[in-house]
Amino acid sequence: MGCKQRNPPHRHLRRHSNHIRRWRSSPRQRPERDHLATNTSPIMNSNTSAQLLDTGNLVLRDVPTGNVIWDSFSYPTNIFIPGMKHYENMSMSSWRSPSDPAVGNFTAALRALSIPQSMVWKNGMPHWRSGPYNGNFFIGIKEMYLAYPGGGFRVENDSGGIYFTSPTLRFLTKTELNLAGSLVQYLWDDRNKSWEVTWASIESECDLYGKCGPFGICNPLNFAICTCLRGFEPANRDEWKNGNWTSGCTRRTELQCDRENQNGDDVFWRMPFIKVPDFAELYPARREDECRTVCLRNCSCLAYSHDANIGCMFWVHETLIDIQQFNGVGPDIYIRLASSDLDRNKDKRLVIIIIIPVVVGFAFVSTCMFLAWCRLTKRKGRLIRDRKALETLQSADSSAIVLKDESEEINIEELPLFTFKTLADATNQFHEDNMLGKGGFGHVYKGTLANGKQVAVKRLSANSGQGGAEFRNEAVVISKVQHRNLVKLLGCCVEREEKMLVYEYMPNKSLDVCLFDPTHPLHKTLDWLKRFSIIEGIGRGLIYLHMESRLKIIHRDLKPSNVLLDGNWNPKISDFGMARIFGGNQDQANTAKVVGTYGYMAPEYAIDGRFSEKSDVYSFGVLMLEIVSGKKNTHYYNQDWSLSLLGCAWKLWTEGNGIAFADQTIANQDFEAEIVRCIHIALLCVQEFPKDRPAVQNVVSMLNHETVDLPLPEQPVAEKWDRSHVGSTQPIGKSGYSINELTITVLDGR
């Protein structure tokens, strides 16, 4: 039997020693053919041949008759490639773990009720939804034009029923259902020989199914992402104050149609640019006014929408679920409300009530306006002084960020502003019981705002001789980026001598807290799957900073204490005080002011002051080795071998005993191959010369097995350095970890 492998390599069959791992068939697959491919009965005999077609389909044929008895396209796993036909009764399923292709927690399939749409389920419960298919694309995906170049996914019909497919294009693409339940589309970059991410179904919390519950709408750009539709109010206000929106909203005013069996007093409220709710029903009207008329006549009709290709969409179920606000794309939806909820008559009465006292009391109003003008002038003068004070915090050194975006100055005033009193009340007057941590530039406190929202407040120490430029730098940089793996800046406070930044609160603290302290209660829960997910998330955050953000950003201080963990263990890169913004074509810069943390700084940066994307890749490599080993680079020293953490990883990996480097709580045979591969990738990242290190997008591809053959790394240079500046080292096996770090600034004349 001949074998053929297409370029690029696909991870559908995996070779282990001298055996080929069997092809797993997913459950719920076209039942009439399940008997051909099972986990126990053989599907090949001496009269069976296998052929890998140019489409990527593996076909088994009966030799005497030439009939196809099994093909891989009919039994998809976690990968969907062009040319496959995904019927309604077929489903993709995620892997159980990065190294275990057994059925995982997530399944994806085409759901064709009234209007076809793609769905992902988590253990049988809806997890993500594409929105209806309009003949060209799924209208519930805001990146629909970018995600499906050249026509993208299609829903078609044949004798086998409705199916989902993707045409074969001149470039290679694939879509994967990953371990987190996100459909990720990749494009093969032939120049770099790697898969590049072009789209992911889940980029924010709002992409999760029903995040805001019934009659709630999600907007990832809002401070509180969930709000109720107009005419509705929270079903459980206490839960909403605590950030739990799943109970949704209830109608404030009963519909007249329901109460009096008439429709004259019901109206429709237009909401533009919406991901329409689930359970839409089709009505073949072509004009929008027809949709309105039909919906108004049906008391069960809660809302309607119109698409030029679909026609009318109606919602006649008891709730509207999974609604998201888009920015500039998406259809309009019209929500049915009682007329009183639009307050039309009340607005007219309000105008009359306002006009009369204005006319009668003109002199009084004029006096009030004069007093208000005096007060505003005084306040404006204070704001100008605060702004000038803030601007003077910028260092005159050449390494400071040039805070311009296409010749337009970026002002700190673009951020939401908190008053000092608000933040003092939220943190109980900055009580030490609320302190989350401290650094060279001040302290971080846990706070609770008046609306119940928990936040983290970073307060610049008034006695600190440094940190002003870093404060301004961080405020500007992080306000311009948004990604699920970057910490979210909620606002700031610049009031007299006080300067504070307000972030979203991370319940699982920073990575160093639960990684390096074996006595911490969270340490035992940090299994390999969580660690691998954290590594992958950090990588995706760096991809965004280096490539996908409109501002190319180099972090320069990536370390465990600057990686925060939310309640679901999703990593969030934080602390952008040292970050640098690069120009459009700039890929390297020099500085006379070396800032960062020893142990995580790339050699060329620490010695010569040269930094680039590859500087962050080096720090990422060190971070990966720390996550795998559970040991801190700057506090680890093997006395027997006289090696640092990087040197120890190199020695054990080259001896074929890489698993001995791993934290013993995660070192087991089930994940050995993944752990050793992760060490291999980390060693590629910490090579001495930047040109030898992979780009961060290639690192993530390697982690996901999209790059099968990894290059051999060069020996890391770190153990050759003089480690006297690190402080006290800690031999293997010693307890008593410290999570304190030293962030340094070195001035070197050139």
**What average pLDDT does the segment 517-525 reach?**
82
| Most confidently predicted of 3-17, 389-403, 608-622, 700-714 | 608-622
Is the confidence at residue 125, as pLDDT, over 90? yes
422's tokens: 């608000």
| Model pLDDT, residue 243 | 86
| Model pLDDT, residue 463 | 56
Is the confidence at residue 742, as pLDDT, over 70? no
What band does 145 get if pLDDT is binned at 50, 70 and 90?
very low
CB 680 within 8 A of CB 713: yes
| Most confidently predicted of 84-88, 335-339, 588-592 | 335-339
What band does 747 get if pLDDT is binned at 50, 70 and 90?
very low
**Active-site residue, selected from the candidate residues 71, 278, 322, 557:** 557
What band does 728 get if pLDDT is binned at 50, 70 and 90?
very low
**What average pLDDT does the segment 288-297 reach?**
90
| Model pLDDT, residue 42 | 56
| pTM as predicted | 0.48
- Binding-site sequence positions for ATP: 458
**Domain 507-747 sits in CATH 3.10.20.30:** no
CB 615 within 8 A of CB 595: no
Q: Name the amino acid, one letter, at 91.
A: S
**What average pLDDT does the segment 255-279 reach?**
80
Any catalytic annotation for residue 238? Answer: no
Q: Would 207-345 and 393-505 be classified into the same CATH topology?
A: no
CA distance 623 to 603: 15
Is the confidence at residue 369, as pLDDT, over 80? no
The superfamily (CATH) of domain 207-345 is: Hepatocyte Growth Factor (3.50.4.10)
Q: How do beta strands 48-52 and 58-62 pair? A: antiparallel
Among the residue ranges 8-12, 304-308, 593-597, the one predicted with the least confidence is: 8-12
What band does 6 get if pLDDT is binned at 50, 70 and 90?
very low
Domain ranges in the chain are: 15-202, 207-345, 393-505, 507-747
CB 400 within 8 A of CB 469: yes
Tokens 């009369």 belong to residue: 356
CB 196 within 8 A of CB 287: no
Per the rule left: phi > 0, alpha: psi between -120 and 50, beta: everything else, 406 is left
| Model pLDDT, residue 422 | 93
Among the residue ranges 125-129, 227-231, 472-476, the one predicted with the least confidence is: 472-476
Neighbour tally for 50: CB within 10 Å:
14
| Model pLDDT, residue 271 | 94
More confident position, 147 or 193: 193
Is the confidence at residue 40, as pLDDT, over 80? no
CA distance 417 to 698: 39
Q: Name the amino acid, one letter, at 528.
A: W
**What average pLDDT does the segment 465-493 reach?**
79
Of 674, 684, 624, give the one whose Cα is nearest residue 650: 684
**What average pLDDT does the segment 4-8 reach?**
42
CB 175 within 8 A of CB 79: yes
| Model pLDDT, residue 442 | 76
More confident position, 410 or 623: 623
- Binding-site sequence positions: 458
The superfamily (CATH) of domain 393-505 is: Phosphorylase Kinase; domain 1 (3.30.200.20)
What band does 404 get if pLDDT is binned at 50, 70 and 90?
very low
